[in-house]
Structure 1
Amino acid sequence: MTIADKDAGPATIAPATRVRTPILDMEVFDAGPRDAPAVLLLHGWPDAASTWDRVSPHLNAAGFRTIAPTWRGFGGTRFRDPATPRTGDSAILAHDAIDLMDALGLERVYVAGHDWGSNATEAMAVGWPGRIRAMAMLSTPPRLGGIPTPPFAQAQRQWYHWFMATARGAAAVHADPKGFGRLMWDNWSPPGWYGEDTFAAAAHAWENPGWADVTLHSYRARWDEAAPDPRSAALSAAVKATKTIDTPTLYIHGALDGVNPPETAEGVAAKFSGPFDRLMLDGVGHFPPREMPGEVAKALVRHFGP
């Protein structure tokens, strides 16, 4: 039995709906009362919107509407125009999330983001602070003020970033996305944390024809090996120029995170001038929504509640 199996019962999965934005035909999992306060749940990499399947029902039961979109290049989300650049920088993901809010008629939301979703969440708070009631960032520290070249030990953990910056690495990712993603699942969290059915369901989202290109751009752009999407260049620059934000924030981190160990987040609190709290989950790696969904949900309900 996996940690996730112990922490929560069977997932209640909302059926996928389609939401059209100016750029995307988005796959969205929308659950809970439509007139309730909305929580936008943003997934990470290499993952899928299903990472929230055991978190969302707890939030719904607590009186929240949950909206879990599938990012560009993942699952059933498709680009409306074949000529649209297959970009994946954090700022363009933030634009996608705001486009989704506009399409759904949502002026203000709570946001919880894991991994890629974590940095998209902070970019939303920089670009549209009035539209974020409060936010939670999971497993990936903020990039406010820009990201320095990591020390050698962290660069070693992030080997896949540098691998994807090469032509041969890019070709390998295109050739075997699931094999590439499985390495992260195996190395970023304690052994035995996931079952094959769980992995297969998530990895199905990486069959999207844009997945490899979006992935490659995301990691190249963060180290200036590729330019951000032209539409998001201003926001990307604003995140680098912003030292602190005042959005109420909860940072959730697994104590056994194999790619971003706790020491990588020691200075996180200094990035936030408003209410801030940090939750460390013992025995958990890089995927808290999957590994300990019940505890993650309780923390989000406390943070987003009255």
Structure 2
Amino acid sequence: MIDDRHARTPTLDIAYADSGPADGPVVILLHGWPDAARAWTPVAARLNAAGFRAVIPALRGAGDTRFLRADTVRDGSGVALAKDAVDVADALGIARFDVVGHDWGARAAYTVAALFPERVRRMAAIALAFQPRGAFTLPPFAQARRFWYQWFMSLDGGPDAVAADPKGFARIQWDTWSPPGWFDEAEFAATARAFENPDWVPVTLNAYRRRWRGDQPSDPALAPLYERLPTIERIGVPALMIQGGADSCDDAAMSEGQEGCFTAGYRRVVIDGAGHFPPREAPDAVADALLEHLT
């Protein structure tokens, strides 16, 4: 769905799609990993039909989005992704918006709502639970097993292995995170072109290795945001959480019981039979839930 539109921010030249009525309320849709902006195509169409303007950026390291400088840290943190989303809004002159994110995009959506609540009307997150204070904690054994790919990237030889076959690495996740039959070869091939971005591997490795190793750099320009996030335990923006009931990456139980983390309202929807990619696997169910939340 990405077209030839580009937004220049202090850090990136961000490729994005922009659809729907120009004067409609803006929804920024943030895709996940390993995925691309095209994942939102069917959901965006439903939002457009309901009068919403959908802005869909290609995340840093994906598609045609590019860093402006070679020496910028390829920071893959939720803080970096959140700042990119706000920077896109600034570049497009959008003062307030709804933000919806899947996977990495969900982490970014939570972080935008935590750090920039004055910019957000409502937020929705898909597949990932909220992490108060932005803290990643050691998961239980069953979830740690599902996170094998993160451990793999944290090995000394992991970066070289991922760099040697990034599409193959992504394909394993598509094959195993959801019940079979949810995608075809043509769709994976079209999406995987986003992984040809020269920064896809560096941003991916930075994002996941920082969880388990203390040797991953952060962009110093983001230092004030990094300092503030650990002080924020609750989100004060109306929130929706959508979980696939058959998610084989993030156990649906991980997002239970989080009502107390949201002070402006929180609703959790579980889509039975959907795996880790609900916007692709059950776009109408996702769109229905979003429209109820956003309107």
State the partner residue of 2:273. Answer: 283
Amino acid at match of 1:257: D
The one of 181, 185, 191 equivalent to 1:202 is 191
Amino acid at match of 2:274: V
Q: Residue 235 in 1 paired to residue 225 in 2?
A: yes
Q: Residue 126 in 1 paired to residue 114 in 2?
A: yes
SS in 2 for 1:100: helix
SS in 2 for 1:87: coil
Question: Deviation at 1:201?
Answer: 1.2
Q: Residue 189 in 1 paired to residue 178 in 2?
A: yes
Question: Deviation at 1:167?
Answer: 2.3
Between the aligned partners of 2:44 and 2:280, the Cα distance in structure 1 is 11
Structure 1 segment 200-279 matched on structure 2, within 5 A: 200-225=189-214, 226-279=216-269
Question: Deviation at 1:52?
Answer: 0.1
State the partner residue of 1:4. Answer: none
Amino acid at match of 1:135: M
Question: Deviation at 1:14?
Answer: 6.3
Q: Gapped runs of 5+ residues in structure 2? A: none
1:168-194, Cα deviation, whole Å (9 max, x unpaired) = 111111110001001111111001111
Amino acid at match of 1:179: G
State the partner residue of 2:63. Answer: 75
Between the aligned partners of 1:127 and 1:112, the Cα distance in structure 2 is 15
Q: Residue 29 in 1 paired to residue 17 in 2?
A: yes
Q: Gapped runs of 5+ residues in structure 1? A: 1-12
Identity %: 47
The one of 23, 32, 49 equivalent to 1:44 is 32
How much is the aligned-residue C-alpha RMSD, in angstroms? Answer: 1.3
State the partner residue of 1:294. Answer: 284
The one of 148, 158, 161 equivalent to 1:172 is 161
Q: Check the 8 A contact 1:89/1:229 in 2, yes or no.
A: no
Q: Residue 162 in 1 paired to residue 147 in 2?
A: no
Moved more, 61-70 or 156-165: 156-165
Between the aligned partners of 2:236 and 2:52, the Cα distance in structure 1 is 23
Task: State the aligned residue count.
Answer: 293
SS in 2 for 1:167: coil
Amino acid at match of 2:57: P
State the partner residue of 2:49. Answer: 61
Between the aligned partners of 2:283 and 2:4, the Cα distance in structure 1 is 20
Question: Deviation at 1:92?
Answer: 0.6
State the partner residue of 2:6. Answer: 18
SS in 2 for 1:297: helix
Between the aligned partners of 1:235 and 1:178, the Cα distance in structure 2 is 32
SS in 2 for 1:164: helix
TM-score by length of structure 2 reads 0.96
Amino acid at match of 1:102: D
Q: Check the 8 A contact 1:126/1:238 in 2, yes or no.
A: no
Between the aligned partners of 1:57 and 1:195, the Cα distance in structure 2 is 21
Q: Residue 148 in 1 paired to residue 125 in 2?
A: no
Q: Check the 8 A contact 2:235/2:264 in 1, yes or no.
A: yes
Between the aligned partners of 1:162 and 1:233, the Cα distance in structure 2 is 26
Amino acid at match of 2:75: T
Q: Check the 8 A contact 2:114/2:236 in 1, yes or no.
A: no
Q: Residue 88 in 1 paired to residue 76 in 2?
A: yes
Q: Check the 8 A contact 2:2/2:37 in 1, yes or no.
A: no
Between the aligned partners of 1:216 and 1:127, the Cα distance in structure 2 is 24
**Distance change (3 Å), C-alpha of 1:35 and 1:53:** same
Q: Check the 8 A contact 1:221/1:228 in 2, yes or no.
A: no
TM-score by length of structure 1 reads 0.93
